[in-house]
Each structure stands twice: as structure tokens, then as C-alpha cells.
Structure 1
């Protein structure tokens, strides 16, 4: 294999499951240099209180934020990827899958759950960057498709939380097929007249951006999230031009018309429910109006 396809680990990646119950005395340093105690960070929705930096979190934390009393039912939890191409580079794909599953406790890079949010049932698909960079393989596409099918069958709103480096290269064309597959399923959701809220988190890039992440009835993002197709370096080399300040941040993307709103993590639950009610023409409830 060409050295182009080899990856080097950068920094220290902490598995999502390890972040929740952090022992007292441990500290987190945000990119701006602010220091916060880990348990305080958890209580603040994993947002640094001094500089408002939104720390990357996974499906476990997002489900806790969105579902009433953190009660939900996960579907297709045991669905796992195969290795049909027998991909080998610095490490066999099958071995990388086993290592990612052991490290994260996840079966793949997305989880689908059904539960109540402000008393009404919703379907939430949430990606986990800790699992091979949130890469989109055939299982990711299949679980999203099945989540949409469930929403259509039960006539429920659908929420997609994207956090991904893009298509999973170890599955080649099988991965790229998921762009069309998930987009087609979202068209069926639209035909059924059901709301689709897309939440872009840091990072939302590559094939996810080119498909379901930007197809919401309402597209929202967390502050400061990286959103784009190709990375800034690739864009700069392709265009031969200097990139503007803040290029591919959520704020830049919204300014140029590709996002509807930027939502602070502490307001996610209320805002998402507000948008669902507006799409379905449901009178807004008092608890949603308080911080709308």
C-alpha cells in the first residue's frame, strides 16, 4: 500500500466511556489554556466554563443530554462491520475493528436510540469519533438507514448527530455507497412528512458533510465546530489561495448560508425540541420557551 494511506496517531485520545466518571483531582486544559476540574467539566455539559470551549463528547453523553432521565432503548446495538475487501495497510482492518471495539466499548462509529425528550418520543442517531475517527463504513450507513426506517414506521422525528472524519477508506466503494443510501432514506423521511434535525459537531467532514449532515430540515451546530468536506490544507493547495480567517468553523459556515443556527450544548435539548415542534406545527410548550 502507498504511504499516502498510512495514518499516524496524534495526541492523546480519551475513549468516551472513560470521560464520564472522572476521579476528583483530575484536570482538563482547553486549547485556549484554561484549566478546569474534570468533574466540574462534566457537570457543565463538557463545556469549559471560562472560555466556552465545547469538548468532544460521544453518544453516551449526548443521549444523557437529550433523553428524559437518560432513559432510552438502543436498536441494532450488535451490528458490526466485516472485512469484505481484506484491507491491509500498517494493520489489518479486522484487527483495527477489534482494537477499536475493545478500546471504546462500542461496536461501531454510530449508535441509534429511541426515547422521550420533553415527554415525546424521538429517534436519535449519534456518531462516536473515538471509534476509528467516526469514519463512515457500511455499518454506519446501515444503522442510520434502519434508524430512519424506525422513525418512519413509528411516525417519529429523527435527529442525527454527526462527528466524523469522513468515509472509512478500509471499505472503499462500500463506504462511499452509504452517502447515496442515507440520502435516499432521508428523502423517504421527508415524503412521510417527518422532521429531521441535523446537528454538526466537531468535526463534521468528508462524506458525512456530503450527505446526511447537510440534509436536515434544520441544520444546526455547536459553537466552534469544524465543518467542511476537504481539510483546509487540501483546499488551500487546490485553490492556490490563502484561506479566510475562521475558515470551516461553524460560525464561518453559518455566515455563508450552510447552517441555520449555532446552539450552545446546554440548550441543545430545548432547541431541538423547539425546532421539531415548529416543523410539526405543534404549539410551543412553556419549558421550551424559557430558554428559546
Structure 2
């Protein structure tokens, strides 16, 4: 071996490894282009090459949705931890600890209240970064707390969905959250408080089969997967090829299941306009003298 391979190459590799952090770049999940993370965050986690909407954290969603410095996070009620004492490859309690440490969240839902272009609102965001946004007993408590807060403040409730469905580690207790969340939505409807659902990628399983499809207005980010079972499961069940774009936002808006497909950059003004219409409010410039 020459001095180039024995000495120069390790020096160059060591220099590159030292000066180029691993978290500086990210590949687009759709087109594969390498993106500078700082630029990607400025662009609301949207790929500038193919317009693919990447996943966003709870903190980012709150910042993008509410007016600056206008919102307050809600402390959510606690639920029984590991009621079934479930264990697969790991203990359920260990999985919860890992996800709490990784996501800096206590559960797969976060709630805050504030203003969106001056309009009061309560916003609940499902955290895909916490166990794929799965729905357990603690999630149900958080959703009900969000609905009660909306009732207390007489403010619209906006829910951002992102979930793989029910949480298997809680078995039947997870499935019980479906009727619980539906009852919470019915409480809002009886009080004539607007309830808006924003679908993000992916929204599947028991979430879609319960509160997610009960909104007064349904908005979706572009190309979000929205459905109960996944496309492959359906194809294997019916033994037929599914239509192009099946279960994606654009397909669902054409078939009447979604009202609006809105880019992330357009979402806040879209929500503000809908809130004004549903709450019968006008902007100062719209008032008649």
C-alpha cells in the first residue's frame, strides 16, 4: 500500500468527518435530493425540488399555525401507565421512556390555545414522533381536555392528525378511545363550536375511523395518505389494482371526503378565513362604517 492510502486518505476522511456534522443534510423522502436542513426548515419542511411535504414536529406545527408569541401549551391529564403490563421485544414502559426522551413529549398529542391571525382557537396536534402518533388512553384524555378547553373558551377546535392508528400495547383500552373522542366531538357540535380537522401524512387506522372524519371542515396537506387500512392491505383483500393516487389528499378531495387541499405555506391564512366564516367574524377592513 502506498503512502496515499495509508496516510493521506485517513487524514482526509478524518477531516471531513470532523467538520461535516451528520445532522447538516437530509434527503427528500420523495425525490431523493439532498437538502440543507437549515434551508428546509425555513421552507416549512417542504422540498424545493418536488414540493414534497415532509413530516413536521409538534413544536414546528404550533409555530407555523399560531400568531407569534400568542399561544399557551396546556398541561394534559395523566392516564394509567401500562395498564396491561404489556411486553413484546421490550417492555411497554421502556418504549414510553424512550419515546419521551426522543420526542421531548409526554404523549402522542399536544394541545395549546392562542390566536390565528387574530382569531381565537384551540389546537391539538398529533405527534407522529411519539410512537407513530398512536392512540392510547393518555391520548384520549388529551383529546377530551382539548375539547373541554374549546368549550370553556367558546373557541373553535382544530386538530392536526398524523397517526398509525390504535396503540397495540394498550389493546382494548386503545380502541375505547374511538367512541370517547367521538363523544367529545359531539359535545362541540351540540354547543355549536366549530371543529376543523387538518390531515397530514399519514392518517390511518382508528383515528380515521373516529374523530378525524367528523370535522365541520376537512383540510389536507398535499399527497397525504388518509385511510383506514393501507393500500397494500386493501389490494390483497379485494384482489384488484387500486386507482392511481388512491387514499391520497388529491384523490379524496375529488371524491368528496376532503374539502380543501392546502399547501403548508397557505394553511394559516386558510384556517383564519374558515374561522372567520364559521364564527361570523370580519376583519377590521371588512367592517361597514
TM-score, reference length from structure 1: 0.86
* Kept after mapping to 2: 8 A contact 1:59/1:126: yes
Aligned-pair distance for 1:88? 1.1
CA distance in 2, matches of 1:123, 1:35: 36
CA distance in 1, matches of 2:221, 2:242: 22
CA spacing shift, 1:286–1:26, aligned 2, 3 Å: farther
* Kept after mapping to 2: 8 A contact 1:201/1:225: yes
Counterparts in 2 of 1:8-87, with a 5 A limit?
A: 26-30=24-28, 31-77=30-76, 79=78, 82-87=81-86
Counterparts in 2 of 1:253-268, with a 5 A limit?
A: 253-268=252-267
CA distance in 2, matches of 1:286, 1:108: 41
In structure 2, the residue matched to 1:213 is 212
* Kept after mapping to 2: 8 A contact 1:220/1:261: yes
SS at match of 2:85: coil
Map Cα deviations across residues 9-56 of structure 1 (whole Å, 9 max, x no partner): xxxxxxxxxxxxxx8982222121233211111111111122111010
* Kept after mapping to 2: 8 A contact 1:112/1:147: yes
**How many residue pairs were aligned?**
265
CA spacing shift, 1:25–1:228, aligned 2, 3 Å: closer
In structure 1, the residue matched to 2:226 is 227
CA distance in 1, matches of 2:155, 2:52: 32
Map Cα deviations across residues 78-113 of structure 1 (whole Å, 9 max, x no partner): 736511111111111111111111111110101000
What RMSD in Å do the two structures reach over aligned CA positions? 1.8
CA distance in 2, matches of 1:32, 1:51: 7
Map Cα deviations across residues 104-131 of structure 1 (whole Å, 9 max, x no partner): 1110101000112212321000011111
* Kept after mapping to 2: 8 A contact 1:137/1:167: yes
Aligned-pair distance for 1:152? 0.6
* Kept after mapping to 2: 8 A contact 1:145/1:185: yes
CA distance in 2, matches of 1:146, 1:78: 8
SS at match of 1:201: strand
Q: Is 1:238 the counterpart of 2:240 in the alignment?
A: no
In structure 2, the residue matched to 1:282 is 281
Q: Is 1:128 the counterpart of 2:117 in the alignment?
A: no
Structure 1 unaligned segments of length 5 or more: list them.
1-22, 288-292
In structure 2, the residue matched to 1:171 is 170
* Kept after mapping to 1: 8 A contact 2:156/2:195: yes
CA spacing shift, 1:39–1:81, aligned 2, 3 Å: farther
* Kept after mapping to 1: 8 A contact 2:119/2:275: no
Q: Is 1:161 the counterpart of 2:175 in the alignment?
A: no
* Kept after mapping to 2: 8 A contact 1:136/1:208: yes
Aligned-pair distance for 1:211? 1.0
Structure 2 unaligned segments of length 5 or more: list them.
1-20
Aligned-pair distance for 1:259? 0.2
TM-score, reference length from structure 2: 0.87
Map Cα deviations across residues 222-265 of structure 1 (whole Å, 9 max, x no partner): 00111110011111111111111111111111111110000100
CA distance in 1, matches of 2:285, 2:38: 31
* Kept after mapping to 1: 8 A contact 2:76/2:141: no
In structure 2, the residue matched to 1:111 is 110
In structure 2, the residue matched to 1:11 is none
CA distance in 1, matches of 2:94, 2:42: 36
